[in-house]
A = this chain, B = another copy of it.
Amino acid sequence: MSKTVTLAEIAKWVGGVVRGDASTRISGVAGVAEAGPDQLTWLAHDKYASQLRTSKAGAVLVPEQFGETPMPAVLCQNPAVAMVTILARFSPPVPRPAVGTHPTAVVASSAQIGSNVAIGPHVIIGENARVGDGCVLHASVFIGEGSVLGRDCELWPGVVVRERCTLGERVVVHPNAVIGADGFGYQFIDGRHVKIPQIGTVQIEDDVEIGANSCIDRAKCGATVIGRGTKIDNLVQVAHNVQIGPDCMIVAQTGIAGSARLGRLVVVGGQVGIRDHVTLHDGVQAAACSAISKDVPAGTTVMGMPAVEHEVFIRERAKIRRLPKMAEQLADLIKRVERLESSADHP
């Protein structure tokens, strides 16, 4: 990260314009409080402008109508979007195993490995597995028998993909995540929990990302499905036969119970629990820590335990906060009514 670029160059990357010294040299990016004189910071709104007064940043990326700034600025249409480009430009190269198969990897002879595939140390690939062109399998990844990876997938160290699972193209799986473990299904017979064979599989569509230590269980029969473009954070549990639509966001430590369904563009905050067989329709937003036990109609925002519509939650919370006051008013009323009653009896 020792290369430096001028503000003029940065403006060119993002289709923006420089206000101030366009020859200012920048070597990296940092938050407004941490940035130093050779770093670029960014602000999304005028309302944060005061934070710039104490910032030591060498330059700032701001929206087009942003007011004066104490340091040179790059003005652009949407700083959040521009930052995706700028961070990529300043990203140090991500280390990956070399293309080819590391000598310590154990690859079944019947496995089909595409071109330009990087197979790191101690990777294991089972019989009849297929790994698409350009895939990167970091150290100690396990690909079970007959599983299929589309092109350009990246699996980080310790990922386990059990047998007969399917990953689309450009799927990213973070360290120690587990795909295709048995669903949690038992039948109580003669006083014992007897395992229900979990003979289904997992199907992960293109452009999905799955976080570290997350679990996507295989279906009882059929497939657990993660839709195209859906992003799943760390330590998330997706149970057997769950169906998640495209472009959803599922934040860390959320648990989705068996056969639940999520539509398109559903956003689920962290630590949410979703009951089995429940459906969250398109565009639902679930606040962090919600416990969802019923179907949620499209476009609704829910929160709480049990989860209710956002407005209902806010109203109930307000009333609960007023309870001490209400209890006081009630006690007072009881006394006043008693007084009225006794004067009515003895007028």
* Residues in chain A within 8 A of chain B (CB atoms): 28-31, 34, 80-81, 83-84, 87-88, 90-92, 94-95, 102, 104, 106, 120-122, 124, 126-127, 138-140, 142, 144-146, 156-158, 160, 162-164, 174-176, 178, 181-182, 184, 186-187, 189, 191-197, 199, 207, 209, 211-215, 217, 220-222, 229, 231, 233-235, 237, 239, 241, 247, 249, 251-253, 255, 257, 270-271, 273, 275, 288-289, 291, 293, 304-306, 315-317, 319-324, 326-327, 329-330, 333-334, 336-337, 340-341, 343-344
Contact = CB atoms under 8 A, between A and B. Distances in A.
A164 B191 CA distance: 31
A221 B31 CA distance: 7
21 contacts: A83-B196, A90-B199, A92-B199, A104-B104, A174-B181, A174-B182, A175-B181, A176-B176, A181-B211, A192-B207, A193-B231, A213-B215, A215-B252, A235-B237, A253-B253, A255-B271, A304-B305, A333-B334, A336-B341, A337-B337, A340-B344
Contacts of A319: 320, 323-324, 327
Nearest to A319: B323
B104 A106 contact: yes
Contacts of A102: 106
Nearest to A221: B29
Nearest to A34: B222
Given A90-B199, A257-B270, A340-B341, A213 B176 contact: yes
B193 A163 contact: no
A222 B175 contact: no
